[in-house]
């Protein structure tokens, strides 16, 4: 009789544990993947130049020639329109972007062989901005910016530089994030070098 009671108690405890585990499993939120990684390519260079336009608050020129359908780019539960990622699920997001700048000498211009000539081209201040539009404010809100001034040698055929930045921000549903830059003519839209993305952290 004692053995039977102990067996029943063990079975009851096991059943309770299973019920508790099932309850916990049901209570744990199963959020879908929320992430985006956008890239571009050299053949989007002309589109970038034609379609980019100044935006408010002196935030440079918005890049709109991102693509999301060619590997390694992708979209999961985030919308892309006019160069902007639209947030569908509120939360904390890690947002990142890298822009590749390439200085090219104009066609027909040869590097000067005169040792007395200036050896440095005019300095260029390259700035990358990451901003957002929200339903609660009429203008773009700057989230991050990174800048560098580079002086490329006149003896070099071209000069290269990249700017990367990233950070965690709280975003609401329908917030729209985008990247803009200061010098459109210096941007090289290589898919491995210029990219933009975000993913839900919590």
Assess contact for 51 and 65: CB atoms under 8 A.
Answer: yes
Look at residue 44 and tell me if it is in a domain: yes
**What is the CATH number for 64?**
2.60.120.40
Assess contact for 198 and 35: CB atoms under 8 A.
Answer: yes
Assess contact for 162 and 133: CB atoms under 8 A.
Answer: no
Q: What is the pLDDT of residues 131-179, one digit of tens each?
A: 999 999 999 999 999 987 665 555 655 567 889 999 999 999 999 999 9
Domain count across the chain:
1
Look at residue 26 and tell me if it is in a domain: no
Q: What is the pLDDT of residues 7-35, one digit of tens each?
A: 555 555 555 555 454 554 454 445 679 99
Look at residue 10 and tell me if it is in a domain: no
Look at residue 17 and tell me if it is in a domain: no
Q: What is the pLDDT of residues 116-142, one digit of tens each?
A: 445 555 667 789 999 999 999 999 999
Q: What is the pLDDT of residues 44-97, one digit of tens each?
A: 555 454 344 444 457 888 988 899 998 899 999 999 999 999 999 999 999 999
The residue range of the domain holding 179 is: 35-103+121-200
Look at residue 19 and tell me if it is in a domain: no
H/E stretch holding 12 reads helix 2-27
- Pairing of β 195-200 and β 137-150: unpaired
Q: What is the pLDDT of residues 188-199, one digit of tens each?
A: 777 788 999 999
């Amino acid at each position: 009789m004692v053995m039977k009671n102990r067996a029943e108690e063990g079975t009851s405890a096991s059943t309770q544990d299973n019920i508790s585990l099932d309850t916990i499993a049901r209570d744990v939120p199963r959020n879908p993947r929320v992430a985006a990684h956008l890239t571009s390519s050299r053949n989007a260079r002309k589109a970038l130049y034609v379609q980019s336009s100044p935006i408010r608050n002196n935030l440079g020129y918005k890049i709109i020639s991102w693509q999301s359908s060619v590997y390694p780019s992708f979209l999961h539960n985030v919308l892309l329109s006019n160069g902007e990622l639209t947030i569908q699920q509120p939360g904390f997001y890690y947002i990142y972007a890298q822009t590749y700048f390439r200085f090219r000498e104009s066609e027909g211009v040869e590097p000067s062989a005169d040792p007395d000539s200036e050896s440095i081209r005019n300095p260029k201040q390259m700035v990358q901005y990451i901003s957002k539009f929200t339903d609660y404010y009429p203008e773009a809100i700057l989230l991050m910016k990174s800048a560098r001034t580079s002086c490329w040698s006149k003896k070099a055929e071209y000069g290269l530089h990249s700017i990367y930045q990233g950070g965690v921000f709280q975003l609401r549903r329908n917030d729209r994030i985008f990247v803009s830059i200061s010098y459109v003519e210096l941007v090289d839209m290589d898919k491995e070098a210029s990219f933009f993305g975000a993913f839900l952290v919590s």
